[in-house]
A and B are shown apart, each in its own frame.
Chain A
Amino acid sequence: MNSLLDFFSFADPNIRFVVIGSVLLTASSAIVGTFTFLHKKSLVGDAIAHAVLPGICLGFMLSGTKNPAYLIAGAFVTGWISLIGVEYITRHTRIKEDTAIGLVLSVFFGIGILMLTVIQKSGNAAQSGLDHFLFGKAAALVGQDLFVFGTVAVLLLIAVFLLFKEFALLAFDKDYAKAIGLPVRGIELTLTSLIVLAVVIGIQAVGVVLMAAILITPAAAARFWTNKISVMITLASIFGAFSGLSGAYISYIAPAMPTGPWIVIVISTVAFISFFFAPKRGVINRLLRQRNIRRTINDENVLKTLYQLSEESRNFFIQRSAEEIIRRRKFSLETLGKILKRLERQGYVERTGKHWSLTEEGKNRGQRVVRIHRLWELYLTTHLNIAPDHVHDDADTIEHLLTPELEAELEKLLNYPKVDPHKSEIPYS
């Protein structure tokens, strides 16, 4: 617990640097990554991430030092070459894009591993720590490194801010962007350069192997909370920053641990929470809505049945037993009991001993369901040429669904008919 306090008091300037650094890196990667996600280029991001490894090794071999400027330059070059490679292979051979991506990714990474192992055995003392680029090490973000990586991150943020609306339009509708005369090719190249840059700096914290996650996952998570790009970017950067912060913390309490995998586990957890629990788009919410719809259907079916039982006698407030309802429409006794209790709570039915009767409200709702059912049956026979003996099932669904507006439209379209195709009366209130 002490370490937690120590860490979050940010008293140690080194901790402050590491925190600022990793938050900046992950947040800016997440922001650029949002466009990667929207442009459906997630896997291209993965390819670039793997392809920067040989570049880092090359930068080191040529300069002989771990100066971040050289490493970034090397990484930028091979990152770009990998992209050109993917595009060249897809354009000039019959190989499809996904194969080209996988090919470039794994071959570049293989070359990077070969170079890394050669460097490690070369005996150059400066090389130690180069392998931190594989799985990331946030704790190394101090001094000159922080300065260089931080500057690039800030530049990234400025570029995204300036070109925000162009990127957004391109992601949404490329043809339209072309039609209104935007330099589409130029904007795409800029975005690609930004992705490469984001990868190049992000690997300090996350490492090349899992870099793709910090590009894609925050954006994927944010997508579940909003439909607006600006909100999505803000959320993605917050998620990214949060995972970066936890990465820095883990690097602080367990210096031997690689930070990348932890950052990825944190951000993935955020993403899975979003997938399941986000309002509206989340899986759980969708399931709940399904359940509510099923409840509504059951409720309305009982009201409809109670209404229909009394249609002949025209006395809608007669008390009925559960058996009478079940005789008319199949429910299990247990289900019916639950539905009736719910309807009673909502004021649609009243209970006297073992019998139930409709309230005025209940009658109206039951009547509406019957009305829509019969209107829809009529609509299907008159407008869709469907035989009268085939329309019942469909109407059984639609009766629970139609909004008052559509109901009114239907009535008007059919000219307020009196009877349905089976000569049953259509009740109006």
Chain B
Amino acid sequence: MNDLYIIITASLVASSCALLGCYLILRKMAMVGDAISHAVLPGIVIAFLISGSRDSMTMLIGAGLIGILTTFLIEFLHKKARLQTDASIGVTFTWLFAIGVVLISLFAGKVDLDQDCVLYGEIAYVPLDTLIIGNQSIGPRALYIMGMILTAIILFIVFGYKELFLTTFDPAYATAIGISTTLWHYLLMGAVSATTVASFESVGAILVVALLIAPAATAYLLTDNLKWMLVFACIAGVAASVTGYYIAVWLDGSIAGAIAMMAGIIFIIAMLFSPTHGIFTKKFSRTAAADS
């Protein structure tokens, strides 16, 4: 049963990240996603210190706000201080992440977080922390939180589908016909921040990035249709979660690390053998065409 809980939680994290990741990579904002996932750390720690627990809405909201603040800061450094984009991203997230790690070390006794957890999460302990209603334990808390997050993201994408589609594909045209690109940009960044925070304790900061980018990149090589891309990204994420879990058990190592590795391997398979965009597939069809 515990295996199942872990796999389901991981799959929920992977799917949430994969859906948002599709939009991130299509907007060429993969590294902003990376930056946000690092930068929410001080938000998490501060919310932790204030509220004294990890299952409060405070944490989700507080860290979500820090995520949006990060994008503001990157833009501020770029536009007002005129620092080149790549450097603004690099300076911002390393600074915030460093603050987070230092806070954790300083308040080691008060914060139920440690450096390892920050890096690769504690998904193995997910089944231990259960939600209790009345006297009945109804399953791991993380499972319910991630379920809610995934539901919210799906609703966000379903209802905002055409706005997200248009502002991603052609922002100038979107503005011209009166759809606010800024609004949708920050909504998306808010969603990424909230997801990162919720996924943090399961998979840690850097592996959130793997789940944001790798499944979406895999799906991008498999289809030319945005809806299918979203679906394929989820499938790739879930596949990585399931296989990664068993590999981690087999090697007795970090589950999140193994999931990230599997997400990478699935990407490589898609890169080489995708029916439409695979490197081998293309090479093969070219030689076949030359032969005939």
A and B touch in the complex (CB under 8 A): yes
- B90 on interface, CB distance cutoff 8 Å: yes
Bound-state Cα–Cα, A264 to B179, Å:
40
Given A43-B89, A220-B91, also A121-B252 (CB < 8 A): yes
For chain B, residues 58 to 103, give those with C-beta under 8 angstroms from any C-beta of chain A: 77, 80-84, 86-87, 89-91, 94-95, 97-99, 101-102
- A137 on interface, CB distance cutoff 8 Å: no
Q: Enumerate 22 A-B pairs (CB-CB under 8 Å) in ascending A order.
A: A92-B279, A96-B25, A99-B213, A102-B31, A102-B209, A105-B34, A106-B214, A107-B264, A107-B267, A109-B210, A110-B259, A110-B261, A110-B263, A118-B252, A121-B253, A213-B94, A213-B95, A216-B91, A217-B91, A220-B90, A275-B81, A283-B80
A265 to chain B: closest residue by CB: B98
Q: Are A260 and B210 in contact (CB under 8 A)?
A: no
Interface of A is mostly: helix
Stretch of A34-42, A68-76, A144-152, A193-201 lying at the B interface? A34-42
Closest approach, in angstroms, between the C-beta of B100 and any C-beta of chain A? Answer: 8
Closest approach, in angstroms, between the C-beta of A395 and any C-beta of chain B? Answer: 30
Given A110-B207, A110-B259, A213-B98, also A94-B89 (CB < 8 A): no
Interface string of A103-120 (1 = CB under 8 A from B): 101111111111111100
Interface hub of A109, A134, A256 (most chain B Cβ within 10 A) = A109
Interface of B is mostly: helix
Partner among B25, B80, B89, B97 whose Cβ is within 8 Å of the Cβ of A99: B25
Closest approach, in angstroms, between the C-beta of B286 and any C-beta of chain A? Answer: 13
Q: Are A93 and B279 in contact (CB under 8 A)?
A: yes
Given A99-B217, A118-B253, also A106-B207 (CB < 8 A): yes
List 9 other contacts, CB 8 Å, given A94-B277, A99-B30, A261-B97.
Answer: A40-B86, A92-B271, A98-B31, A107-B267, A114-B253, A114-B261, A209-B119, A271-B91, A275-B81
Contact surface of A with B, Cβ cutoff 8 Å: 37, 40-43, 45-46, 50, 89, 92-96, 98-103, 105-118, 121, 131, 134-135, 209-210, 212-213, 216-217, 219-220, 223-224, 256-258, 260-262, 264-265, 268, 271-272, 275-276, 281-283
Q: Which residues of A contact B87 (CB under 8 A)?
A: 37, 42, 216, 219-220
Bound-state Cα–Cα, A100 to B212, Å:
12
Given A40-B84, A93-B221, A135-B115, also A110-B206 (CB < 8 A): yes
Given A110-B256, A212-B90, A213-B94, also A43-B31 (CB < 8 A): yes
Closest approach, in angstroms, between the C-beta of B267 and any C-beta of chain A? Answer: 7
Closest approach, in angstroms, between the C-beta of A109 and any C-beta of chain B? Answer: 5
Q: Are A98 and B80 in contact (CB under 8 A)?
A: no
- B232 on interface, CB distance cutoff 8 Å: no
Q: Are A96 and B101 in contact (CB under 8 A)?
A: no
Interface residues on B, range: 35 or more
Partner among B28, B97, B210 whose Cβ is within 8 Å of the Cβ of A110: B210
Q: Are B209 and A106 in contact (CB under 8 A)?
A: yes
Q: Which residues of B contact A262 (CB under 8 A)?
A: 98, 102
Bound-state Cα–Cα, A223 to B88, Å:
13
Q: Which residues of B contact A261 (CB under 8 A)?
A: 97-99, 101-102, 105
Bound-state Cα–Cα, A110 to B248, Å:
12
Q: Are B94 and A210 in contact (CB under 8 A)?
A: yes
For chain B, residues 255 to 280, give those with C-beta under 8 angstroms from any C-beta of chain A: 256-261, 263-264, 267, 271, 277, 279
Interface hub of B30, B248, B264 (most chain A Cβ within 10 A) = B30
Bound-state Cα–Cα, A94 to B28, Å:
12
Q: Which residues of B contact A103 (CB under 8 A)?
A: 30, 210, 213-214, 217, 264, 267
Interface string of B235-248 (1 = CB under 8 A from A): 00000000000001
- B33 on interface, CB distance cutoff 8 Å: yes
Q: Are B264 and A110 in contact (CB under 8 A)?
A: yes
Bound-state Cα–Cα, A257 to B34, Å:
25
A215 to chain B: closest residue by CB: B90
Closest approach, in angstroms, between the C-beta of A215 and any C-beta of chain B? Answer: 8
Closest approach, in angstroms, between the C-beta of A21 and any C-beta of chain B? Answer: 20
For chain B, residues 198 to 245, give those with C-beta under 8 angstroms from any C-beta of chain A: 206-207, 209-210, 212-214, 217, 220-221
Q: Are A213 and B90 in contact (CB under 8 A)?
A: yes
Q: Are B83 and A268 in contact (CB under 8 A)?
A: no
Given A93-B221, A98-B29, also A109-B260 (CB < 8 A): yes
- B251 on interface, CB distance cutoff 8 Å: yes
Bound-state Cα–Cα, A113 to B210, Å:
13
Bound-state Cα–Cα, A112 to B264, Å:
13
Partner among A42, A106, A272 whose Cβ is within 8 Å of the Cβ of B210: A106
Interface hub of B31, B90, B221 (most chain A Cβ within 10 A) = B90
Closest approach, in angstroms, between the C-beta of B278 and any C-beta of chain A? Answer: 9
Partner among A43, A114, A135, A224 whose Cβ is within 8 Å of the Cβ of B251: A114
